[in-house]
Each structure stands twice: as C-alpha cells, then as structure tokens.
Amino acid sequence: MTIEASKGEGQGRQIRLGMVGGGQGAFIGAVHRIAARMDDNYTLVAGALSGDPARAKASGAELGLDAARAYDSYQAMAAVEGRRTDGIEAVAIVTPNHLHQAIAREFLNAGIHVICDKPLAVSLEEARSLQDLARKTGLIFAVTYNYSGYPMVRQAEAMVAAGELGDIRVVQVEYPQGWLATPIEESGQKQAAWRTDPAQSGAGGAIGDIGTHAFQLAEFVSRLEVSELIADLTTFVPGRRLDDNAQLLLRFGNGARGMLWASQVAVGCENGLKLRVYGTKGGLEWAQENPNLLWFAPHGEAQRLITRGGAGAGPAAARVTRTPFGHPEGYLEAFGNIYAEVARAIRAAREGGKPDPDSRFPTVDDGARGVAFIAAAVESSKAGGKWVRIGSRP
C-alpha cells in the first residue's frame, strides 16, 4: 500500500479558511479546525466566532487571528472577506442548525465556498434554496457527514460499487448513544441544550442529530436511495421537546429493506454508529467505534476482516489513509478526510480543472436529502406510523 502520509503537504498553496461559530467552549468548531489543519491544506485567517462581539474578539485572539479579521457578525465577514484580494476562499459553518441557511447564503453570494455542518437546514424549503443557490453560483458546498470520510467506509462503498455484494437486499443501520438518558439540558449542558431545542435544532431531535448520519451512511455505502419509510419517534425523557429515540423501517428503490435506529437514551452506548449491508453475494459490517476494521463475508466462504491499510483494502481506502495497518486512525482523521477531499476540489476549481472521479464528499444535495429524511420521519411518526415517500434525488 502506498500511503500519502500527510495529504496536503506539497500540494501547493494553503487554502484561506474562515469560520462562523466555534468560539470559546464550542465542541464541533474545534473539531473542524483540527480537521482543516491535519493535512496542512488550510490556514484559518478569519472568523465570526460568536454572536457575542466580546466573545468573538476573544476567541479570535486565542486562535491567533488578525484582530481585523475577527468579525462580530457573519454578514460583515462575508462582505469584507468577499472583497479582499487575500480574502477567505472557503468558510466553515459550525453554528446551531437554524442559522446554517442564512449564513451559507451570505457566503455563497460573496463567492466563497462553503463547508457546513449537518443537518444542512431546519426545513426542506431552506435546504432547497441552498441547493438552488449553490447550483447557480457553481461554488463548492460540502456538508460534513464526517462518518463517510472513514477509509473503511470508502472501502465498503467501493466494494458495493464493484459488485462484490451482488444485489443489495438488506441494510441495517443504527446509531445508539446514551448521553441524553437524563434531562441534562435542564442543568445547562450546552451541547444538550441546543440539540433538544426545536428553535435551534428544527423538528428532529435524535432523528436530526444522529439519525441523519445513519441515513447518509446507509445510502452512501449501499449506493441505493430510500424510497419510503415508517418512523416511530419517541421522547422518553420527561419534559424534553424533541424525540430522543427514533426507530424506522426503510424501503429502498430496488426493493431492498432496512431498519434504522437512532437513540440518545441507550444507556451504555457511546457513539455506536454501525452499518450492515447484505446482498446476494456477500455481507458487510462496519462500526464507527473501531473504525479501522471492515467485516466482509462472501457467500459460502469464511468471513474476512479487512483492515485499513491491510491486504484486503483497495485504492478507495488508501486515498484517505495516513498511517499503515495497525496504526489506528480515528474520528478526527475521518473528519480530516472530508476537508482533504474538499481541498482537492477547491484546488481543482482554482485551476478550472475537472472534478476527480474518485473524490467523495457529501454535498449540498446530500445535505438536502438528510433534511428530506428528517421531514419524512417526522411526518410518518406524527401520522401514527404510516409509509411516507422520500422523493429521489434530482
């Protein structure tokens, strides 16, 4: 296996990056920054890091930003950076969900590429408007469904594409967590607070926060589209305003069947995203918590354990691999792979080149699909559990 030990080094000038959200005390903003930094593809030069001007300044200083580029509003940042000759080329949006759309529009309109956290938006209308604007501007718009950045997820997708599983019949995906088993949002846990607040999260609780990751992973690896679903969304913790447990039946366009479970009240579970795909010729299993492994069972043969960097892993995995087999990569590296793929796309765009056919990163279309999924699940559950269709991609 050939490993490109540090992906961005030597690939040319770094991409100038800005960030909206992610000030002091934020979790996901810091993750985005490590992901951007990992391969030396980006340099963070501007930010509107907090809605609170003082905090925005302080956060900018902490991160070593030029004070003039630590903006106190994203509107100001888009306007100024859009005009600077050394302005940012891309912006990372890491605010709560309800702000994504307005921010993304502002930067798209300023001619700046967008990397937006998921879910893309809090309504299907918002999502559609972003799809339209992205299409119109021709800018790159990535949505950080980061789990699809894992090398062995890429490997799985490649194996499905190569027909190694035959026709897909069954797709089982689950994402259990236990951290919201008690109402910690009531005692000021910041991560819990916004995730359980419909005003900031939209209509989906567990289904939006983690169910969308599971959905995206299932469609990405199976290369199928869910055509309809039944959802039973439940709120177990008294006083909570959004679902904290979501159980769904899925039907795929080709006749395959699936189940999706997302929960925030599964005590003892940490971040248990797991995918299993079964076809006529073989079965696959991958679990996020030990992500360097991929189980593959060819029909009628002994199961194999394909390892990142190992004998059974091919070019799709190698493309996003930094270390040899047995040297585990994790969550940050997978997140970094999304940033690395986007960097390749931005560099290709700079040069007016064609997109790389082997590139894989979730786009605004994947983001919109996730929003459509949330909407369908909420609708099905409200209707007491009936089949609801999701339109297919454009």
For residues 156 and 153, give the distance between their C-alpha atoms in angstroms, rounded to a whole number. Answer: 5
193: contact with a copy of itself by CB under 8 A: no
- Shortest approach of a copy of itself to residue 88 CB, angstroms? 18
Do residues 308 and 10 touch, judged by C-beta distance below 8 A? no
**Residues in 15-34 that interact with a copy of itself by CB under 8 A:** 24, 26-27, 29-31, 33-34
Residue 125 or 186 having the CB closest to a copy of itself: 186
Which one of 245, 321, 337, 363 is in contact with a copy of itself (CB under 8 A)? Answer: 245
Residue 227: left (phi > 0), alpha (psi -120 to 50), or beta? alpha
Please tell me the distance from the alpha carbon of residue 51 to that of residue 218, in angstroms, as a whole number: 35
Which residue among 66, 223, 241, 280 contacts a copy of itself (CB under 8 A)? 280
CB of 394 to a copy of itself, least distance (A): 28
- Binding of residue 253 to a copy of itself (CB under 8 A): no
Nearer to a copy of itself, 108 or 260 (CB): 260
Question: Which of 79, 80, 102, 269 is in the footprint of a copy of itself by CB under 8 A?
Answer: 269
Among 53, 163, 315, 328, binds a copy of itself (CB under 8 A): 328
Which residues contact residue 307 at a Cβ distance below 8 angstroms, ignoring those fewer than 6 apart? 292, 293, 294, 313, 325, 326
- Radius of gyration of the chain measured on its C-alpha atoms: 20
124 binds a copy of itself (CB under 8 A): no
Near a copy of itself by CB under 8 A, which window of 128-136, 151-159, 172-180, 360-368? 172-180
Q: Which amino acid is at 20?
A: V
331 binds a copy of itself (CB under 8 A): yes
Closest CA to 144 of 81, 99, 100: 100
Q: Are 333 and 13 in contact (CB under 8 A)?
A: no
According to CB under 8 A, which one of 312, 315, 355, 391 is a site residue for a copy of itself? Answer: 312
Binder of a copy of itself out of 46, 63, 116, 376 (CB under 8 A): 63
Looking at the Cβ atoms of 280 and 359, the one nearer to a copy of itself is 280
Count of residues in contact with a copy of itself, rule CB under 8 A: 96
Question: Does 299 participate in binding a copy of itself (rule CB under 8 A)?
Answer: yes
Work out which of 51, 283, 318, 379 binds a copy of itself, going by CB under 8 A.
Answer: 283
Cis peptide leading into residue 362 (ω within 30°) = no
Give me 319's structure tokens.
């493309």
Which ranges constitute the DSSP H helices of 50-197? 53-62, 74-83, 100-109, 124-137, 151-161, 190-195
Tokens of 101: 């759309």
